[in-house]
Amino acid sequence: MSDYAGVSPRSGGIFDLAGKKAQIAEFAERSADPDLWNDPREAQTVMQRLTRLKEEVDAWASLDQRINGMDELIELAEAEADQALSAEIATELRGVATDLEKRELALLLSGRYDDGDAFLSIQAGMGGTDAQDWAEMLLRMYTRWAEARGFAVTIVDISAGDEAGIKSATIELRGPYAYGNARAEAGVHRLIRLSPFNSANTRQTSFARIEVMPEVDDAPEIEIKPDDIRMDVYRAGGHGGQGVNTTDSAVRITHLPTGLIVTCQNERSQIQNRETALRVLRGRLLERELQRQSEERAKLRGEYRDAAFGSQMRTYYLHPSTLVKDHRTSHETSNVQAVLDGQIDPFVEAYLRWNVSAEKSES
């Protein structure tokens, strides 16, 4: 087998073929259990993860075959001094390099929940009406980004702003590595622009917080006891206040030990809304625990910073110049409109590389 198989020369990462095959065997065994299909949602999750793992292993195997084939072509071209064959090799090399880059990014998405689905929540912060408008701009940005990546996007809950925009929203992202990619966006996002909401058109700074939670049906770290939650029901309302349902189908769940509140009004069924709200709550509790562990490690390194408003992770400048800058990775672009239209993959990739470097410095 080629020395390049399963190895990314830029990141130094190694594809754990044995580990992936063990996971495939585990999920294949679960999929063969007739009782699994009593829970269609869990069955769908198992089959999706099994499919993703198989595709990942097959992709590395295909890349390895191409690299092995390159060795043979290079030897033949050198022996015969064939210029046409050399040009063919150059084209193939570029293709291999592109595929290797994609595989390298996959290696960066190696967290426990990275390959799963996600919930992404947007909360307007300081800035009044401008902040609520900013929150809606971010909702549009993330919806466009997710759809361009092929993720299924569902609005779980949304609260309209007082005059414009939204106060908050939660969306579900379903697709391969939705959580692993979306978690790059968690944090405080700051917008600096000339306000369209005051007559003087003065410069305004607005904030919004993005929270990203893994969607899991079961997580050993998290236990939600029936006595720990209070459920209230109310009539769902649409964006802008229009009616959506004439029955009390919307659900608000309060987690008593933490005070966390989760709402869901997407489904017409109260039972479905309750199940979705519980999934969001489970993801939020899990994300809190993962964040706590990360903060403990940061404190040991002396690098901990409170993620409060003002400690923004990214700033979007629309005045006096145009620039988007990520304060963690230093990645930036002057094409603000493209970013607001959902072209945020360069920021996500920069974060993934930065995060791997940070984790390596911990060990």
Q: What are the structural domain ranges in the chain?
A: 17-108, 118-362
Handedness of CA 39, 23, 48, 11 (dihedral sign): positive
Q: For 158-168, write each residue's pLDDT tens digit.
A: 999 999 999 99
Q: Pick the residue with more confidence: 55 or 16?
A: 55
Cβ pair 114, 179 in contact under 8 A: yes
Amino acid at 253: I
**pLDDT grade for 246, boundaries at 50, 70 and 90:** very low
DSSP code, position 11: T
pLDDT number for residue 307: 43
For 54, the enclosing helix (H) or strand (E) is: helix 40-80
Q: Among 12, 42, 13, 47, which residue's Cα sits nearest to residue 29?
A: 47
Q: What is the largest CA-CA distance in the chain?
A: 79
For the 118-362 domain, the top CATH level (class) is alpha beta
Cβ pair 215, 172 in contact under 8 A: yes
Residue 308 above 60 pLDDT? Answer: no
* Average of per-residue pLDDT across 273-299: 86
- Among 65-79, 124-138, 295-309, the range of highest mean pLDDT: 124-138
Pairing state between β 187-194 and 314-317: parallel
DSSP 233-269: EE--B-TTS-B--SSS-EEEEEETTTTEEEEE-SSSS
Residue 13 above 50 pLDDT? Answer: no
Angle at 16 between CA 363 and CA 1, to 5 degrees: 125
Token readout for 298 is 């940061």
Place of tokens 């400048």: 317
| Strand order, beta sheet including 260-264 | 229-234, 250-255, 260-264
DSSP 79-115: HHT-HHHHHHHHHHHHHHHHHHHHHHHHHH--STTTT
**pLDDT grade for 249, boundaries at 50, 70 and 90:** confident
DSSP code, position 361: H
Fold (CATH) for 17-108: Methane Monooxygenase Hydroxylase; Chain G, domain 1 (1.20.58)
pLDDT number for residue 326: 96
Question: Dihedral, CA atoms, 150, 152, 153, 154, nearest 10 degrees?
Answer: 170
**Alpha-carbon gap, residue 147 to 134, rounded angstroms:** 20
pLDDT number for residue 300: 61
**Alpha-carbon gap, residue 350 to 354, rounded angstroms:** 6
Q: Among 307, 311, 346, 309, which residue's Cα sits nearest to residue 330?
A: 346
**Alpha-carbon gap, residue 260 to 253, rounded angstroms:** 8
Same fold, 17-108 and 118-362: no
Residue 7 above 50 pLDDT? Answer: no
pLDDT number for residue 24: 87
Q: For 309-337, write each residue's pLDDT tens digit.
A: 557 899 999 988 999 999 999 999 999 99
Question: With b meaning 16 or more CB within 10 Å and e meaning fewer, what string describes 61-76?
Answer: eebbebbeebeebeee
> First vs last Cα of the chain: how many Å apart?
30
**Alpha-carbon gap, residue 267 to 278, rounded angstroms:** 14
**Alpha-carbon gap, residue 100 to 219, rounded angstroms:** 32
